[in-house]
Amino acid sequence: MKVVIGADDNYYIANYVVNYVRSKGFDVVLIGSLKSGRQEPWPKVGYEVGKLVASGTANYGIVICYTGTGVSIAANKVRGVRAALCVDAKTAQGARLWNDANVLALSARLLSEEVAKEILDAWFSVEKPDQSELPNIKQLNELPNE
């Protein structure tokens, strides 16, 4: 399974996330500062991760900026992306289970290694969405971009 991970700056926690996801056996593609080593605009990072997920190049995306908000907004500009800003494991699990979220947005400001690990474990623990939510997910995907 391929996971694309992007960050707008070279945050310690972003590098921790990359290493932890790799340790779980995922193929990781790096975007933004994780690839270039220098600060990158958060709109570009979020959008690029979103494009790779929506195109099927990656199964999931993880985006990281100072608050997590900017990259989640940028990723959600891509049709087919359902980016969720998660600050705890229960929210991450719910985003996958009930919303079929395919991009996880994280705040570099808020995360410790322990909380990041909990969020990632919860995110990847959900293999498919709750079947009762499929009509809602379908309806979401059919909403027009205005």
Which range marks the domain in which residue 58 is found? 2-142
pLDDT tens digits, residue range 35-88?
999 999 999 999 999 999 999 999 999 999 999 999 999 999 999 999 999 999
- Assess whether pLDDT exceeds 90 at residue 140: no
Number of separate domains in the chain: 1
Q: Which amino acid is at 106?
A: L
Share of the chain above pLDDT 90, in %: 92
What's the average model confidence in pLDDT over 86-92? 98
In the set 17, 21, 34, 65, the catalytic residue is: 65
Give the CATH number of the domain where residue 95 resides: 3.40.1400.10
Residues 106 and 4: their CA atoms lie apart, in Å, by: 13
pTM comes to: 0.96
Known catalytic residue at 86: no
Are residues 5 and 18 in contact, defined by beta-carbon separation less than 8 angstroms? Answer: yes
pLDDT confidence bin for 144, thresholds 50/70/90: confident
If you average pLDDT over every residue of the chain, what do you get? 96
Q: What is the mean pLDDT of residues 3-7?
A: 98
Residue 4, phi then psi, degrees to nearest 5: -95, 130
**What residues have CB less than 8 Å from 142, skipping those under 6 apart?**
none
Residue 97 has pLDDT above 80, yes or no: yes
Phi/psi for 3 (5° steps) reads -125, 125
